[in-house]
Amino acid sequence: MPKLFASPYLPEAQDADLFNPQAPVREVGPIGILLVNLGTPDQPDAASIRRYLGEFLSDPRVIEIPQPVWQIILRLFILPRRPSKLAPRYKDIWLQDGAPLLVYSQAQANGLQELLQAQGHDVNVELGMRYGNPSIASGLDKLKAAGCERILTLPLYPQYAASTTATAVDCVAAHLGKQRNQPELRFIKRYHTHPDYIGPLAAQIRRYWDEHGKPERLLLSFHGLPRRCVELGDPYYRDCRETADALRAALDEPAVDVHLAFQSRFGAQRWLEPYTEPTLREWGKQGVGRVDAICPGFLADCLETLEEIQVECRDAFLEEGGGEFHYIPCLNADPQWIEGLGRLAVQHLGGWLPARLVPTR
């Protein structure tokens, strides 16, 4: 008999013992961990960048302008022009294995799985990008295919913002909303002052200083956000300030002034201040001898760190008379960070892991 109504849900794997009263007890499958990062174009060319920007900038969590108005601006003015300008910048930072953000994020996912499995945990770790590939949907599908009925979503955003963490949660929920047999879910909202994040970050800076000496000033440059978003209730600005305070305390270097700034302004509206490049230009005019910069909100290097900070902001500082500018890389696949990421994940897997395997500290 033909089906009169198609199911609105995705097809599920058939259970061979579905109606068998003597069916064996189902085994508990592995725990799934989905690491989520922002995303990147597939290739450093205008066509790939256009596809990526079209998806990224169409997210209402990212651009809070009425979509009918915004889509006209995006399609007529931004997407026809911006990709060709960005292509050379992406080519300059592209690695042999792909975009730095993808390469380093995948290394974190691989490192996390190897670490947890070596500790005896039955886990599968997948990477999902909010925009581009590999997608969040593909990561969830791989975890489901591996038998994961419990999934922890761990955004690679230490500080919470609606335009990063919340939209990742939205995307996970939207994909699972198409499924009949959904997994049990947990989400990590933030870990901006967690010792297993601040500790590796401080160690990364200290290692750099041990090799290159210390600066007069350390600039912590976070991704910017429209000020209006914070005024409407987004806690991102406070998260960034608390990260800066925690990192300043962990470094405990009275001779180095630690400052906070925000990069990547877009559009004409007022964003979080102080702005990174104008701050560096002012320091250059003041004759500051050496500035080191690091981007604590980015756990993997990308265009905004390797090109905007390491090149554009360095040039701005030097043009105005500054002495030396040093960029300190993101944590990327740093072993101490992978260990910290593992402890962070295990902490949020409490109750899912066998009690004897949960490490104590």
Which tens digit of pLDDT belongs to each residue from 300-333?
999 999 999 999 999 999 999 999 999 999 999 9
Q: Looking at residue 356, what is its pLDDT?
A: 46
pLDDT classification of 3: cutoffs 50, 70, 90? low
pLDDT classification of 233: cutoffs 50, 70, 90? very high
Residues 6 or more apart whose CB falls under 8 angstroms from that of 14 comprise none
What tokens does 305 get?
Answer: 């760190």
Task: Answer yes or no: is pLDDT of 254 > 50.
Answer: yes
Average pLDDT over residues 157-183: 97
Q: What is the pTM of this model?
A: 0.94
Q: Looking at residue 355, what is its pLDDT?
A: 56
Q: Looking at residue 238, what is its pLDDT?
A: 98
Task: Answer yes or no: is pLDDT of 1 > 50.
Answer: no
Q: Looking at residue 19, what is its pLDDT?
A: 86
For 60-108, how does the pLDDT look when each residue is reduced to its tens digit (9 = 90+)?
A: 999 999 999 999 999 999 999 999 999 999 999 999 999 999 999 999 9
Q: Contact 145/29 with Cβ under 8 angstroms? A: no
Residues 6 or more apart whose CB falls under 8 angstroms from that of 63 comprise 57, 70, 74
Q: Looking at residue 166, what is its pLDDT?
A: 98
Task: Answer yes or no: is pLDDT of 357 > 50.
Answer: no
Q: Looking at residue 148, what is its pLDDT?
A: 96
Q: Looking at residue 361, what is its pLDDT?
A: 46
Task: Assign 3-state DSSP to the chain and report helix, strand, coil percentages, each to 5.
Answer: 45, 15, 40
Phi, psi of 299 (to 5 degrees): -90, -10
pLDDT classification of 183: cutoffs 50, 70, 90? very high
Task: Answer yes or no: is pLDDT of 164 > 70.
Answer: yes
Task: Answer yes or no: is pLDDT of 45 > 60.
Answer: yes
What are the contacts of 45-52 at 24+ separation with CB within 8 A? Answer: 45/87, 46/83, 46/84, 46/86, 46/87, 47/83, 49/82, 49/83, 49/86, 49/87, 49/90, 50/79, 50/83, 51/132, 52/131, 52/132
223 marked as binding residue: yes
212 marked as binding residue: no
Average pLDDT over residues 289-304: 98
Task: Answer yes or no: is pLDDT of 4 > 70.
Answer: no
Q: Which amino acid is at 224?
A: G
Residues forming beta bridges with residue 35, ordered by sequence position: 127, 154
Q: Which amino acid is at 171?
A: C
Average pLDDT over residues 144-153: 96
User: What percentage of the chain reaches a pLDDT higher than 90?
Assistant: 87
Q: Looking at residue 2, what is its pLDDT?
A: 55
Least confident of 98-112, 206-220, 261-275: 261-275
Better-predicted residue by pLDDT, 28 or 320: 320
For 105-138, how does the pLDDT look when each residue is reduced to its tens digit (9 = 90+)?
A: 999 999 999 999 999 999 999 999 999 999 999 9
Residues 6 or more apart whose CB falls under 8 angstroms from that of 230 comprise 236, 237, 272
3-state class (DSSP) for residue 294: strand
Cα(77)–Cα(70) distance, integer angstroms: 10
Better-predicted residue by pLDDT, 29 or 222: 222
Helices (H), the chain: 46-56, 67-73, 82-93, 100-118, 136-145, 167-176, 195-212, 227-231, 236-251, 276-285, 303, 314-319, 335-348
Angle among Cα 340, 193, 325 to the nearest 5 degrees reads 85
Cα(314)–Cα(308) distance, integer angstroms: 9
Residues forming beta bridges with residue 262, ordered by sequence position: 222, 275
